[in-house]
Amino acid sequence: GDHVSPQQQAGQSERKPGCKDPIFAVLFYVNVAAIIGIAATMGKDALTSFADGGSIYDYSGFIYASVIISLASLVFAGISLLIVMKFPETVIKISLVFVVVLALVWALIAFASGSMIGGIIGLLFFGLSVWYAKAVWSRIPFAACNLSCAISAIRANFGVVLFAYLFPILGIFWVIIWLVAFLGLYDSIYTTGAADGSSSSGGGVAYGYLFLMFLSMFFTEQVLENSVQCTISGVVGTWWIAPQDNGFCSGAVCGSFVRTVTTSFGSICFGSLLVAIIRALESLARSAQENGDAGILACIAECILSCLAGLVEYFNKWAFVYVGVYGYGYLEAGKNVIQLFKNRGWEAIIADDLVGNVVALMSFVTGGFMGGIAVLLESNTNWFASVPSDAPIFAFILGFILGTAITAILLSTMASGVNAVIVMFADAPAELERNYPEISRDMRAKWNEVYPGSV
């Protein structure tokens, strides 16, 4: 279990020089430039009132609300991060109970509203959630020890949290710019101003434009989230092998961040684009279903695309560890890390993702709070006056999406740290034993308790 082959020592321990997958970085920059261009040209008219010769609607309130909600989300996300770092095992337990309670609440609400089918489905999920929680409860110490190890690495290089904050902040700016561009494009395609303030629709849904806007949104969101993962992975890898480089803004932190935004950026964009294309198609299928187009085919397509996106995201979360730690290109990194797990016989272990439940719990809770703040803004301002109907619902959805997305990006520091710990434990267990013997003994004990003979 402790053996590190000469090939590992000579090859994987040395980072691969040079930029990888640069064409995908170029595509990302083109995407950002295009959205900024649309926002600067079409978007400015959408943010002016009809009296000023622009749109017949005033969308500026959406922007104000988005800024306030995004800033509040950063604060709540930071609090969530501190809670997870302070009470890792407790939060994992709460996240499992949360899933069970959520399923039960779903069933009760469905029955109370008279939806028998919805209630039965809710009860089914409730039963499955109880079964799952009972099945994995004994593995909580295993997940907690991995999370604690990741937290130790982050605490030793706490400056990385500042860089982790950078990406959600960039995400806020991106959401605002994208929203301005989207409103401008929507206004240009569907709405024409008239002297009496009337409007006319340009016909059916412009699915081509909708796909491109969805693609742009998901592409950038994935790049930001995966940049966090690569930065954290690089820091954990350096902490693991070279503890002398630890420090608040150490070479481990700055070096990992610089590699993320330079030599490894193309690989990050490569994997992010694959997920973005699938998610954009999934959103397009959902939109078609809601508009009554394509019928059952849209529903089937949405389900298939959702499963496909899940598989690619699962592949990405391991591939980006190798990208961040060793500097491989995207495809080479994915192939090597999966082969590593196969050689170790750890296929079942890497599927055991209790930390992901923690990220989901904190993200949904923050999203709920932000939805509540958005509803308060709607009731006390006229920022959502241009929403034709159900403005409180629209406001809640806007707040929930922003809160969930920003929190997920920031808390991906924890999930990314755990992924890196598992990869490094498979690839270089001897280094952990040499540099951090107490952590190594604790991890070996917990791993052998849940998965005998794995280490």
* 348's tokens: 């079942």
Rounded percentage of the chain residues whose pLDDT exceeds 90: 11
Report the alpha-carbon distance of residue 339 to residue 333 in Å, rounded.
10
More confident residue, 296 or 145: 145
- The whole-number average pLDDT for the span 91-112 is 86
The DSSP secondary-structure symbol of 12 reads: I
Report the alpha-carbon distance of residue 272 to residue 316 in Å, rounded.
8
Task: Provide the total of helices (H) and of strands (E) in the chain, helices listed first.
Answer: 18, 0
Could you read off the pLDDT of 342-377 as tens digits, one per residue? 887 776 666 667 777 788 888 888 888 898 898 888
Could you read off the pLDDT of 219-247 as tens digits, one per residue? 998 998 899 889 999 999 999 988 888 88
The answer to whether residue 214 scores a pLDDT higher than 80 is yes
Amino acid at 297: L
Average pLDDT over all residues of the chain: 81
Could you read off the pLDDT of 46-75 as tens digits, one per residue? 555 444 554 555 567 777 888 888 888 888
pLDDT of residue 41: 84
Could you read off the pLDDT of 249-301 as tens digits, one per residue? 777 888 889 999 999 999 999 999 999 999 888 888 877 776 666 667 777 77
The answer to whether residue 311 scores a pLDDT higher than 90 is no
Could you read off the pLDDT of 389-401 as tens digits, one per residue? 677 888 888 888 8
For the entire predicted model, the pTM comes to 0.77
Report which secondary-structure segment, H or E, holds 57: none
Could you read off the pLDDT of 420-451 as tens digits, one per residue? 998 898 888 889 889 889 998 988 888 888 87
User: How many residues in the chain?
Assistant: 455
Report the alpha-carbon distance of residue 257 to residue 103 in Å, rounded.
40
For residues 136 and 93, the answer to whether their CB atoms sit within 8 Å is no
pLDDT of residue 304: 82
Report the alpha-carbon distance of residue 341 to residue 319 in Å, rounded.
12
- The whole-number average pLDDT for the span 123-137 is 86
